[in-house]
A and B are shown apart, each in its own frame.
Chain A
Amino acid sequence: GNSVTQMEGPVTLSEEAFLTINCTYTATGYPSLFWYVQYPGEGLQLLLKATKADDKGSNKGFEATYRKETTSFHLEKGSVQVSDSAVYFCALSDRTGTASKLTFGTGTRLQVTL
């Protein structure tokens, strides 16, 4: 079956540091890949996505590239801010008939300090 593996957190960084959160996946076929973010006490927000190999998703300074050869979708940001503190979830989507089923990683908590 499908699975997503994320690096364990928490990840603690100083403001303006470079961020990488690793994500690898196992899937049959060619799934779409996503990063979702959950800020403290809030719901899940779509951060970025990529639907095919070599696609790069980007949003709010975050980027991730769909690497089929390494089955990875690592999240990066060049300069993090305190407001980026949240839990980040990597996920893959595959179709079951007319529904898309998301398989999530366990989430990585990011804490950014001044």
Chain B
Amino acid sequence: DTAVSQTPKYLVTQMGNDKSIKCEQNLGHDTMYWYKQDSKKFLKIMFSYNNKELIINETVPNRFSPKSPDKAHLNLHINSLELGDSAVYFCASSGDVGNTIYFGEGSWLTVV
């Protein structure tokens, strides 16, 4: 019974392709996030949604488009993939109490 699950875990794709990463949480949280971890392990927030509404949108190329069909799901679609998009993408969620953010296991994206 994984709390935050994301698929696929590994994705290798060619430059120029469009790909999606899916995320689901069963914690009953209202807020979900996407974080990016680069090759140097640095973690940075990309987006946050609360109950399907965009709350945080950091400086991210508009090739990245999050979509939240309901508060338990937050998918990440990436258009026209570039070599620099290679990274680990983490989905996460949080409730209203305590500010603790729980992460999924990550999706390792490699663009070749």
Residues of B within 8 A of A95 (CB): 99
Number of interface residues of B (CB under 8 A): 27
With known contacts A87-B41, A93-B101, A107-B42, A99–B90 Cβ distance under 8 A: no
Chain B interface mostly? strand
Residues of B within 8 A of A34 (CB): 100-101
Known A-B contacts: A89-B43, A98-B50. Give 19 more (CB < 8 A). Answer: A32-B100, A34-B101, A43-B103, A44-B90, A44-B103, A44-B106, A45-B103, A93-B101, A98-B51, A98-B55, A99-B31, A99-B50, A100-B94, A100-B101, A101-B48, A102-B45, A107-B41, A107-B42, A107-B43
Residues of A within 8 A of B40 (CB): 106
Can you name 12 A-B residue pairings with CB atoms under 8 Å? A34-B100, A34-B101, A43-B90, A43-B103, A49-B100, A98-B30, A99-B50, A99-B56, A100-B31, A101-B45, A101-B56, A106-B40
